[in-house]
Amino acid sequence: MTCCGTGCTSSGSLKDRERLAALIERDNMQDKVRVVKTGCFGLCAEGPIIMIFPENIMYTNVGPDDINEIWESHIMNGHIVERLRSENELDFFSKQMRIALRNCGRIDPENIDEYIAFGGYEALEKVLAEMDPEDVLETIKKSGLRGRGGGGFPAGVKWQFAADQKSREKYVCCNADEGDPGAFMDRSVLEGDPHSVIEAMIIAGYAIGAHQGYVYVRAEYPIAVERLSIALKQAKEYGLLGKDILGLDFDFDLEIRLGAGAFVCGEETALMRSIEGNRGEPRTKPPFPAVKGLFGKPTILNNVETLANVPQIIMNGPEWFSSIGTEKSKGTKVFALGGKINNTGLVEVPMGTTLREILYDIGGGIPNGKKFKAVQTGGPSGGCISADYIDTPIDYDSLLALESMMGSGGMIVMDEDTCMVDIAKFYLEFTVDESCGKCPPCRIGTKRMLEMLTKITEGEGTLEDLDELEDLAHNIKKGALCGLGQTAPNPVLSTLKYFRDEYEAHVVDKR
């Protein structure tokens, strides 16, 4: 199996694939050896990655020149090529638990038969043949599944709100508009296991009484879009979408809508306006989308990772899912590990795993023996957590208590050389660029904050500026219309809280 996710593709896995295919043909081994393209294995830092079955041997950093050796030594003669094996493999995977990523790196995402062979669409069959919509709603509520895209709202409660609405038209939407810098969890699920999302959306449609769904996905994710399109076509051919699904009395169809890269379109009301063909701008809530959403009809919106959990919950039961994680944060969470960390990549761990375990046991620690300084969780909406809190169990509530947030799962690690004021400025520049401009606290306020931060980083700020910066940040949080503006000050506030001395080192004391 060759990883053909975006990470390994960009480091040359397609060439490895071509080389392997050529050797199979040259040696007439078509009936004995098959090259399968998969989604992401997770250990992106060591790509391109190749996995050899049935021995289960992972080779990393494989260049086209290494393929000949793997072919001659391992495939033709059964001798493992030790020099291409990763020293990190065992540590990287041993503390992980893969639910949302269960099929990533295990199946060919462009082949529905492989998804079915690994239990795919069994949950849908069970739902349609054996369960009432109320049973499905109860199952999701009991599982404790919370939204993996940001706020952590209970998915089953959201579904129940939409199910309770009397309307002939309802919609199921999937938010695949993953825009946080450094985040690639949803992209990887769509690239590696698109059918799990399709299956979950049909189940959600049945539960709330919807017959149409939309996947809103970034156009900047060409591989994900292509694999999702192939998966939709196959699902239609297999009678899993359209009229009378699986020969049973339920109709549901799905379409893809491409987002043009505006970060604000990850906000639910802006996303729905964009699907409707309007400019993607948030609106005030209530009414919430479960009551009045897409085209003014009851709508649920879940992100890719949330949905990828659903078929497993149906098959294994809500008790199984709720037995994983912490009291208020059930199941697992996928994180994209990036920045100053040895094992850059994609990890999935039970909620409650500590930051130390993620960064050191799985992530392999900080490169070049440097000291860990902080980690930004939750992208531009989250905050920086300092090294003092490295033993914090990661779940929704403990991150909020540290004035950060889970967000969608980006984790950018910083070492002792990182200037925290620069980091805050980087995230603020991002939100200033991405503000849709609809409300003044965000449109004008974040710009003023950026001007103040620029003054501070240029050594022209004062201690009074720090107080003003903090005041303005709190006012923007209170006054902004949508989540983008309400959370935009978080990186500044959290760095001011944990690294105020660094800000003070930049300013002149005129008091």
Using CB under 6 A, list all residues that contact ligand SF4.
264, 282, 435-439, 442-443, 480-482, 484-485
Name which of 119 and 440 has its Cβ closer to ligand SF4: 440
C-alpha 75: how far from its chain's center? 35
477, 482, 483, 487: CA torsion to nearest 10: -20
Sheet with 299-303: strands ordered across: 253-259, 212-218, 171-176, 299-303
- Write the CB contacts of 417 (distance below 8 Å, at least 6 apart in sequence): 370
CB 185 to ligand SF4: min, Å:
22
- Residue type for 91, please? D
Q: Which is nearer to ligand SF4, 30 or 475 (CB)?
A: 475
- The DSSP code for 120 is T
Nearest approach in angstroms of CB 285 to ligand SF4 is 11
Please provide residue 114's backbone torsions phi and psi, each rounded to the nearest 5 degrees.
Answer: -70, -40
Report DSSP state, residue 370: P
Judged by CB, which is closer to ligand SF4: 211, or 438? 438
Structure tokens at 377: 């969780």
CB of 162 to ligand SF4, least distance (A): 24
Minimum distance from residue 293 beta carbon to ligand SF4 (Å): 17
Query: Closest distance between ligand SF4 and the C-beta of residue 220, in Å?
Result: 19
| Shortest Cβ 283–ligand SF4 spacing (Å) | 8
Place of tokens 């769904």: 213
Shortest reach from residue 10's CB to ligand SF4, in Å: 31
Name the strand (E) or helix (H) holding 365.
none
Residue closer to ligand SF4 (CB basis): 345 or 485: 485
Burial class (CB in 10 A: 0-12, 13-18, 19+), 397: middle
The nearer residue to ligand SF4, 338 or 485, going by C-beta atoms, is 485
Beta bridge partners of 354: 393
Tokens of residue 31, six digits? 């009936």
> Of the two residues 240 and 481, which places its CB atom closer to ligand SF4 in the complex?
481
What does the alpha-carbon distance between residue 352 and residue 356 come to, in Å, rounded to a whole number?
A: 11
Q: CB of residue 79 vs ligand SF4: minimum separation in angstroms?
A: 58
Which of 39/282 has CB closer to ligand SF4?
A: 282
> How would you write 172-225 as a 3-class SS string?
EEEEECCCCCCCCHHHHHHHHCHHHHHHHHHHHHHHHCCCEEEEEEECCCHHHH
Q: Which is nearer to ligand SF4, 47 or 407 (CB)?
A: 407
Nearer of residues 177 and 199 to ligand SF4, judged by Cβ: 177
Q: How far is the CB of 477 from ligand SF4 (least distance, A)?
A: 10
First to last CA, the chain: 65
- Nearest Cα residue to 325 out of 250, 409, 394: 394
For the CB of residue 482, give the shortest distance to ligand SF4 in the complex, in Å: 3
> What is the three-state SS of 57-101?
EEECCCCHHHHHHHHHHHHCCCCCCHHHECCCHHHHHHCCCCCCC
Give the residue with the Cβ less far from ligand SF4, 45 or 436: 436
Query: Which residue number is nearest to ligand SF4 in terms of Cβ?
Result: 485
